[in-house]
C-alpha cells in the first residue's frame, strides 16, 4: 500500500469518526445559520485533526503536504456531505492570495496576516471574493468600482454582484479601477477589504432554486489603508487572474456537482416505461451508457493529472473540460430523471442537496453552467488558450476605459 493510500485510509477513518456529528444526517433540517455554526465547529475539529490547510506551509497553520494529499482528502470528504460549503471560496482563493500577495514587509503586518489565515482555516473568519459587477458579466476587466487616492490611503465606491457568502464574510479581496483613463485591463488595482467597515452594505440575492448564498455588495466611501493594497497600482488584473487560476486545480466532479450516475441507475431500477422495466428501454440505456463514458473519461483525465503531479509534471490543459462537459450533461440527465419518475417527479424540496436530489440538481444546474465561467467563456478559453484560435472581435481593446460606450 502506497503512502498516499495509507494517508487516504487514515483520513477516511477520521471522517467516519466525526460523520455522526457533522455529516449529512446531522445537517438534515438545520437552518442556514445553524448549519453554518455546525460548519465552524467542523472546521475547528478538522484543523485540530490535522486535515486543514493540507498543502499550506506549517508557518501558516497548514500541514506542509502536497496538492496530492489535499485532493485525496477532499475526495474522501466529499462523500460525507460535511458543512464545508461556506468556507470553500474563502480557503480556495482569497486566503491563499493573501498569503502570496498580502504579506508586505512590516513584521507586525505579517503577524496579522498569519492570524487571519489561522482563523480562516478554523472557520472562525470567512473571506469572500469581490470580482463580478452588474455591468461586468463575463467581462472582469469591465468593472466600474472605483478606488480613488485619499490621503495616504484610498476611498472605495461602487457595487459588486454575485459575491458568494458575503453576508457571512469578515474580509474580502476586491479589484477596483484606479485609472479610468487607462485601457480597461491596465487601470485596475487589487486590495483586501474589511467587510464590517463603515460604508459596506451586503444585500443577499435570492436565486432561482430559492436559496440566497450570493449577494450584492455596496461600497460607499469605504476607507482603505495603502497596506490593504495587494498589487502594484494598475497591476490588479494580474493578481485577479492568479486568483482565478487557483480554481483550476480545485477537486473536479465528473457528475457536474450533481447526483452520481449510480443514483440514476437506482432510480431507473424502480421505474417502468410503458409497462416494461425502465432499465431495459434503449433510451434509458443510451443515457446511462453515454453519461458513463463521458464521466469515466473526465475521471481518467483527473486521475492522470494527479499521477503527473505526483511525477512532478505539469498536467495537460484537458483538465479545463470538466465543468463545461459535466454540468451541461447533468442538466439534461436531471430533467430525464424527473420526467421518467412520473407522479413522483413532481415532489420538490428546495433545501435538498444537489448531489442527492434530482429536482435540486435540475433547478440549480443553470447556475452551475454560468458561475465560475459560463459555457461560452470556457469554450473560448479552450479555443484560444489551448488551440490557438483567434480572440473574438474586441471593440474595447486598448481603448481608454472611460471612452468605451456603456
Partner 1 sequence: MSMLYDEGHEAIANESRRVLDARMDKGRLLRLLESVGEYDQAFWNTAVEQGWSALAISEEHDGLGLGLVELGLVAQAAGAGTAGAPFLTSTYGVAHAIENSGDMSAKNGWLPRLAAGEVLASVAFTEGSSPLPTQPSVRFADGKLAGSKDSVTGGLKADIALVWASIEGAPALVLADLAAAKRVPVESFDNSRLLADIDFSGVEATLLATGDAAQELALDVLARMAVVTAHEQVGGAEALLITARDYALTRKAFGQPIGAFQSVKHRIAEMYGLVEIARANCIHAAASAGQPDFLVAAADARLSATEAYDTAARDCVQVHGGIGVTWEQGLHLHMRRARTLAMEQGNMLFWEDLLVEQITGVAA
Binders of partner 1 among residues 159 to 218 (CB under 8 A) are: 161-162, 205-210
Residues forming beta bridges with residue 200, ordered by sequence position: 219
SS3 273: strand
Cα(107)–Cα(235) distance, integer angstroms? 24
Say how many residues touch a copy of itself, by CB under 8 A.
10
Q: With contact defined as beta carbons under 8 Å apart, do 120 and 173 qualify?
A: no
Residue pair 197/221 in contact by the 8 Å Cβ criterion: no
> What's the closest the beta carbon of residue 296 comes to a copy of itself, in angstroms?
21
Under rule CB under 8 A, residue 402 binds a copy of itself: no
CA–CA dist 321, 373 (Å, integer): 12
Map the footprint of a copy of itself across residues 282-321, applying CB under 8 A: 282-286
Q: Which of 281, 299, 318, 335 binds a copy of itself (CB under 8 A)?
A: 281
What is the rounded distance in angstroms from the CA atom of residue 365 to the CA atom of residue 346? 17
Nearer to partner 1, 245 or 313 (CB): 313
Binding mask 222-261 for a copy of itself (x = CB under 8 A): ----------------------------------------
Comparing CB distances to a copy of itself, the nearer of 66 and 380 is: 380
Nearest distance in Å: CB 257, partner 1: 15
Q: Which of residues 179 and 281 has its CB atom nearest to a copy of itself in the complex?
A: 281
Map residues 374-393 to x or -, x wherever contact with a copy of itself holds by CB under 8 A. ------------------xx
**What is the torsional sign of CA 245, 246, 247, 248?**
positive
Q: Are 94 and 171 in contact (CB under 8 A)?
A: yes
82 and 49 in contact (C-beta within 8 Å)?
A: no
Q: Which residue in 2, 31, 107, 293 binds partner 1 (CB under 8 A)?
A: 293
Q: State the nearest-atom distance from the C-beta of 288 to partner 1, in Å.
A: 5
Q: Compute the distance between CA of residue 281 and CA of residue 274 in angstroms, rounded to an integer.
A: 10
Alpha helices in 49-126 (DSSP H): 67-78, 85-92, 94-101, 107-121
Establish if 271 lies at the interface with a copy of itself (CB under 8 A).
no
Question: Distance of CA 217 to CAs 36, 299, 368, Å?
Answer: 20, 37, 21
Segment interacting with partner 1 (CB under 8 A) among 16-24, 72-80, 241-249, 274-282: 274-282
Taking contact as CB under 8 A, which single stretch among the options 41-49, 120-128, 227-235, 358-366 is the one that binds partner 1?
Answer: 358-366
Least Å distance between CB 358 and a copy of itself? Answer: 20
Q: Does 277 bind partner 1 (CB under 8 A)?
A: yes
Indicate the residue among 203 and 283 with the shorter CB distance to a copy of itself: 283
* Pairwise CA distance, residues 380 & 364, whole Å: 23
Q: Distance between CA atoms of 358 and 337, rounded to whole angstroms?
A: 7
Can you give the binding site for a copy of itself, defined by CB under 8 A? 273, 281-286, 392-393, 395
Amino acid at each position: 500500500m502506497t503512502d498516499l493510500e495509507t494517508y487516504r485510509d487514515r483520513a477516511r477513518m477520521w471522517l467516519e469518526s466525526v460523520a455522526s456529528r457533522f455529516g449529512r444526517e446531522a445537517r438534515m433540517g438545520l437552518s442556514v445559520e445553524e448549519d453554518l455554526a455546525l460548519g465552524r465547529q467542523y472546521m475547528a475539529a478538522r484543523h485540530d485533526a490535522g486535515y486543514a490547510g493540507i498543502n499550506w506551509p506549517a508557518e501558516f497553520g497548514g500541514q506542509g503536504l502536497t496538492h496530492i494529499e489535499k485532493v485525496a482528502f477532499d475526495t474522501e470528504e466529499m462523500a460525507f456531505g460535511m458543512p464545508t460549503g461556506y468556507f470553500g471560496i474563502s480557503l480556495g482563493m482569497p486566503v491563499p492570495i493573501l498569503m502570496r500577495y498580502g504579506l508586505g514587509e512590516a513584521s507586525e503586518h505579517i503577524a496579522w496576516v498569519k492570524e487571519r489565515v489561522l482563523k480562516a482555516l478554523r472557520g472562525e473568519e470567512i473571506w469572500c471574493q469581490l470580482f463580478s459587477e452588474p455591468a461586468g458579466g463575463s467581462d472582469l476587466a469591465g468593472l466600474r468600482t472605483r478606488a480613488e487616492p485619499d490621503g495616504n490611503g484610498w476611498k472605495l465606491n461602487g457595487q459588486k454582484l454575485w459575491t458568494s457568502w458575503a453576508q457571512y464574510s469578515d474580509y474580502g479581496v476586491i479589484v477596483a479601477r484606479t485609472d479610468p483613463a487607462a485601457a480597461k485591463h491596465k487601470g485596475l488595482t487589487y486590495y483586501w477589504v474589511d467587510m464590517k467597515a463603515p460604508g459596506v452594505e451586503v444585500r443577499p440575492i435570492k436565486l432561482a432554486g430559492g436559496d440566497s448564498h450570493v449577494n450584492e455588495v455596496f461600497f460607499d466611501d469605504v476607507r482603505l489603508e495603502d497596506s490593504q493594497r495587494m498589487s502594484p497600482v494598475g497591476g490588479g488584473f494580474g493578481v485577479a487572474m492568479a486568483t482565478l487560476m487557483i480554481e483550476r486545480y480545485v477537486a473536479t466532479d465528473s457528475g457536474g456537482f450533481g447526483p452520481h450516475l449510480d443514483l440514476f441507475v437506482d432510480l431507473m431500477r424502480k421505474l417502468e416505461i410503458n409497462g416494461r422495466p425502465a432499465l431495459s428501454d434503449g433510451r434509458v440505456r443510451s443515457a446511462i451508457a453515454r453519461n458513463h463514458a463521458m464521466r469515466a473519461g473526465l475521471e481518467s483525465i483527473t486521475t492522470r493529472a494527479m499521477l503527473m503531479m505526483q511525477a512532478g509534471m505539469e498536467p495537460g490543459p484537458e483538465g479545463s473540460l470538466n465543468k463545461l462537459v459535466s454540468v451541461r450533461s447533468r442538466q439534461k440527465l436531471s430533467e430525464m430523471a424527473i420526467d421518467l419518475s412520473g407522479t413522483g417527479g413532481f415532489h420538490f424540496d428546495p433545501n435538498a442537496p444537489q448531489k442527492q436530489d434530482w429536482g435540486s440538481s435540475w433547478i440549480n444546474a443553470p447556475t452551475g453552467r454560468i458561475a465560475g465561467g459560463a459555457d461560452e467563456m470556457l469554450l473560448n478559453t479552450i479555443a484560444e488558450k489551448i488551440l490557438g484560435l483567434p480572440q473574438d472581435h474586441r471593440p474595447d481593446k486598448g481603448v481608454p476605459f472611460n471612452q468605451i460606450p456603456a
